Structure 1
Amino acid sequence: MEIRLPRHSRYDYVPLTERKDYSWPDGRRLAFCLTTNIECFAYGKGRGMDPAKHGEPQNHRNYSWRDYGNRIGVWRLFDLFDDLKLPVAHNTNSLLYEHAPQVFDAIRRRGDEIVAHGRTNGETLRDFNWEADEARVIQEITETFRRHEGKPPKGWMGPGAAENSTTPDLLKEAGYRYTMDWPADDQPFYMNTRSGKLLSIPYPVELNDAQQAIHRAHTPRDFCEMMVDQFEEMLEQCEHHPLVYNISIHPFIFGQPYRLRPFREALKHMAGHSLRDRIWFCRPEDVAEHCFTLAPGIIPGSE
């Protein structure tokens, strides 16, 4: 009897060596995206990381540790991004409007992108077992951003990148144009949904400060060396293939002063690189919009 692994039909296997070449605007080859995760949590309830050890219950300590990001960390990051004149995208919870509305004032002032990041990171979409309930929550999130910003977000990055089997379908039907939940590639690719194509933009599991600094217990300088090594390697590799370099930063993690210091050094290195003319400093929505202009058959899954 033939053994078959469970599979999905969201995208086909297309190896990097069989893809068509293209470039980012002005002939640049490496799209550099910097994404923060600005989150709010339930007090004493729901999900959320702990600074001491894994599996700890929700309590005042881990709530206030995460709230440090909204009170202190994100403002230090805004200052750093301003100093380096870097465009940024922010994966933001929709309930943050009630908790820290001044954060959105700063995002608007900078002209940064808002990416929908669920209601709160105290829950994930897997907490909603019925498709109708998940669709209602996604619609609520989308309408909250539309009401406050005058337009809905183009992109989605779910809390914990958690999905149910129909989540991509629901995102497409809610009007989203891209998702960052599937870290399968260093290039964008199109995913299949029951209502048409949904673009997948590369988003890091490895270059994610929550994974490296909290779950794997790497030092801040370890993480920043990883950032630079990834950047330098991709800068070489992009001569052959256009690539997307994305970083994931949580203000309550790398907004801490001792982590901010090496992070600043790493960003300065990359922002001032001698091969800057090969780099496109942009936001995920810019990557998506460029992909939408390319002829069918160039981006995998667009045939």
Structure 2
Amino acid sequence: MKADPNLYDYWPYANRPKITWPGGKKLAFWIAPNIEFYEFMPPGNPQRSPWPNAVPNVQQYSQRDFGNRVGHLRLMELLDRHKLRGSVSLNVALCDHHPEIVEDCARRDWEFFSHGIYNTRYSYGLSPDQEQAVLDDSIRSVEAATGQRIRGYLAPALTHTEATLDLIAENDFWYSCDLFQDDQPQPLKTKTGKLVSMPYSLEVNDVITYSVMGMDPDRYADILKRHFDQLLLEGERSGTVMCIPLHAYLVSQPNRIKMFEQALAHITAHRDDVWFATGREIAKHFIDNYWDSSLDDIKARGVATGGTGFSHG
């Protein structure tokens, strides 16, 4: 049994090479609406049930459907008011099921990255060829619907195989959202390509705060402000990243949306210090400007672990 998956090196936070975001900004902020499709009667997977209760689950299916019918429009209008673009974590089956939502996002110049085909179809048990087929479908479907070549990946329901990161790197993806080890981008250890671990926080993900921890909207808004304030403070030394992952069936409920807007107003009041970007833009800036110096620093500290090592592209 492996004690360490060897996906990235141990890299202490203090005294890393300084990151400066475009315009001298201290913090790169991105917002990731998960636009998902949950099948009513999904195929089974021996390692994980697609619904927490019996299948079919009418109640949970319809709760998630609220996002695609009501919540996303409400969230889009809120982000418009604050001049923010989303980076869409997309179940690419949405291109077929609800093309109007994809069109609304594309019209706003939002980014799209892959969140698998359905959120009820897991990566567990897939062969490399099957997983490659999922990536091929994701690339083709999003490009046909939007003209964008996707560069980011969040595995469906955060389910991986041992081949996932190598495969997305081979397919010229620039970043993965599936690892939660840091508040700055970090090079991942893949056989080819340059793949960045992008900060995508579970701590401020509304699925965790609302569905798991049962927070009320005031508490969630307070946590977002505190999270932002700390990262902005640390960003004075070296640029940090804050991501808010969202699900419109949760954050866009009528009793929650106003408190979330208060948190966004707090964040967007700091435009002099914050780069409001997309995941793709953050990853490209890091790869273009800090990839090599990050690897050099890891090696100089003597903290690099064994295994496949990094590719330099």
Q: Do these two structures clear the TM 0.5 threshold for a shared fold by scoring above it?
A: yes
What's the RMSD between the two structures over aligned residues? 1.9
Residues 291 and 210 of structure 1: is their aligned pair in 2 closer, same or farther, counting only changes over 3 Å?
same
**Offset of residue 151 of structure 1:** 3.5
Three-state SS of the structure 1 residue aligned to 2:41 is coil
Three-state SS of the structure 2 residue aligned to 1:16 is coil
Residues 234 and 163 of structure 1: is their aligned pair in 2 closer, same or farther, counting only changes over 3 Å?
same
Q: Which residue, 152, 165, 170 being the options, matches 1:168? A: 165
Alignment check: 8 A CA contact 1:188 1:200 kept: yes
Q: Percent identity among equivalent residues?
A: 29
Alignment check: 8 A CA contact 2:207 2:247 kept: yes
Aligned twin of 1:243: 240
Aligned twin of 1:150: 147
Three-state SS of the structure 1 residue aligned to 2:292 is coil
The one-letter code sitting in structure 2 at the alignment partner of 1:277 is D
Query: How many pairs are equivalent?
Result: 293
Give the structure-2-normalised TM-score. 0.88
Alignment check: 8 A CA contact 2:71 2:249 kept: yes
Alignment check: 8 A CA contact 1:21 1:298 kept: no
Structure 2: state its 5+ residue gaps.
Answer: 44-48, 299-309
Structure 1: state its 5+ residue gaps.
Answer: none
Does residue 252 (structure 1) correspond to residue 249 (structure 2)? The answer is yes
**Offset of residue 18 of structure 1:** 3.6
Does residue 183 (structure 1) correspond to residue 184 (structure 2)? The answer is no
Aligned twin of 2:95: 97
- 1:1-303 correspondence to structure 2 within 5 Å: 6-45=3-42, 55=53, 57-126=55-124, 128-273=125-270, 276-294=271-289, 296-300=291-295
Alignment check: 8 A CA contact 1:36 1:248 kept: yes
**Offset of residue 5 of structure 1:** 6.5
| Distance of 2:134 and 2:2 partners within structure 1 | 32
**Offset of residue 149 of structure 1:** 2.2
**Offset of residue 133 of structure 1:** 1.4
**Offset of residue 219 of structure 1:** 1.4
**Offset of residue 89 of structure 1:** 0.7
| Distance of 2:181 and 2:2 partners within structure 1 | 18
Alignment check: 8 A CA contact 2:19 2:290 kept: no
Residues 223 and 57 of structure 1: is their aligned pair in 2 closer, same or farther, counting only changes over 3 Å?
farther
Residues 242 and 56 of structure 1: is their aligned pair in 2 closer, same or farther, counting only changes over 3 Å?
farther
